[in-house]
Amino acid sequence: MPPTTPPPLRRRGTVRLAAAATLALATFCSLGAMPSAAADTDGRSSQSTRADGQPPDDFWGDTSTIPPAQNVLTVKILNRTNGKYPDDQVFWTFNNETHSIAEQPTLDMPANSAGRMYFHLGSPDSKYSDFIEFTVGDDVFNGNTTRVDAFALKLAMRLHAHDGFDAQVGEDYETFQEDRDATWQKFADAMPDEFASLTEVEKPYRILAPGSVPDFREGGKYADYMSSYAKTVGIDAPTSDIFGCAGVLGNEAGKCSALNRHVAQLPEDQWSDPGQYYKEGPANYYAKFWHDHAIDKLAYGFPYDDFAGQSSFVSHNDPQWLEVAVGW
């Protein structure tokens, strides 16, 4: 099982409250959110417990060749761009250290607090760049992929521990198999008209989260998109704060997630029922898309998406290795 109180993770460049991290862990334990699998002797996960959207074993390569860690765990970066970029054009950056995976595909990860590892395609300073975030203790890994700010590159993580624990999170296999242009268009086609600008503001580099685009901010043409709904349940907050879980919702994980998922009008005991989410609008359809196209439908589409165990957060003691697949 994960540690009782994992260190808080960073969202949007700030340190999350310990209570939020504890909530994520509590729902993780109670709902069985992480797609854990039994491991074979070579560290590969069992086919019988494959999670929804989980890649086949060969997607992750030969894990038996991952070198043992001298620090906490070994991180290996995989090129899953389907031939778009060679290994010498897939870069990772951690702690001011940058390498292509042709030069160095692994990192012996030390303990660190609120860290990020960045990935770049084409060049070390390419705008085609994305990241994972984590807090690594002396004998524990806590981390996640994130779509809280934006989508730029397809990412998936596989965490394996010495006791056989094995979990995968991130974009699903189907999404990795298709070209980035196809994913971009699929996103655009899935959005209601109000969300059209998400694919335009930083095209072709990033699809922004709704709270980051002018249309949903004060003075924008959809500034009342979520706030009108929030008022019907007694919450007075601007749309951008609802999408970003900020302002009066900064410490309200349940309320903010319920608004984004359009379940705030339901009894609170139904706020943790994924079967109720996104059935009606207004809602955070950006977050819905990344859940729909994630392994086991788990994603971080907004800051409190960990409420009810719905995020791509994964945590375990005595970690052995972490693989990160970078796709196009």
Which region among 7-21, 124-138, 175-189 has the lowest average model confidence (pLDDT)? Answer: 7-21
Residue 122 in any domain: the answer is: yes
Instruction: Report yes or no on 31 lying in a domain.
Output: no
Domain that holds residue 185: 65-209+287-327
CATH number for the domain including 76? 2.60.110.10
3-state secondary structure of 102: coil
Closest CA to 115 of 139, 141, 80: 141
Q: What average pLDDT does this structure show over 63-77? A: 98
Per the structure, the count of domains in the chain is: 1
Could you give the 3-state DSSP secondary structure of residue 144? strand
pTM surpassing 0.85? yes
Residue 98 covered by a domain: yes
300 is a domain residue = yes
Q: Does residue 190 lie within any of the structural domains? A: yes
Q: How confident is the model at residue 41 (pLDDT cuts 50, 70, 90)?
A: very low
The answer to whether residue 179 is domain-embedded is yes
Domain assignment present for residue 25? The answer is no
> What pLDDT does residue 157 have?
98
d(CA 139, CA 110): 10
Evaluate whether residue 58 is within a structural domain. Answer: no
Residue-wise pLDDT tens digits, 266-300: 999 999 999 999 999 999 999 999 999 999 999 99
- Tally of CA atoms within 13 A in the half-sphere of 35 that contains its CB: 27
Residue with tokens 């994980």: 253
DSSP 272-295: T-GGGTTSSSS--HHHHHHHHTBG
Least confident of 4-18, 53-67, 74-88, 139-153: 4-18
How many other C-beta atoms lie within 10 A of the C-beta of residue 87? 15
Q: How far is CA 218 from each of CA 222, 225, 284, 300, 317, rounded to the nearest angstrom?
A: 9, 11, 17, 25, 44
Going 137 to 141 to 142 to 145, the CA torsion angle's sign is positive
Backbone angles phi, psi at 259, to 5 degrees: -65, -45
Average pLDDT, the chain: 88
What radius of gyration, in Å, describes the C-alpha atoms of the chain?
A: 19
Whether 62 has a pLDDT exceeding 70, the answer reads: yes
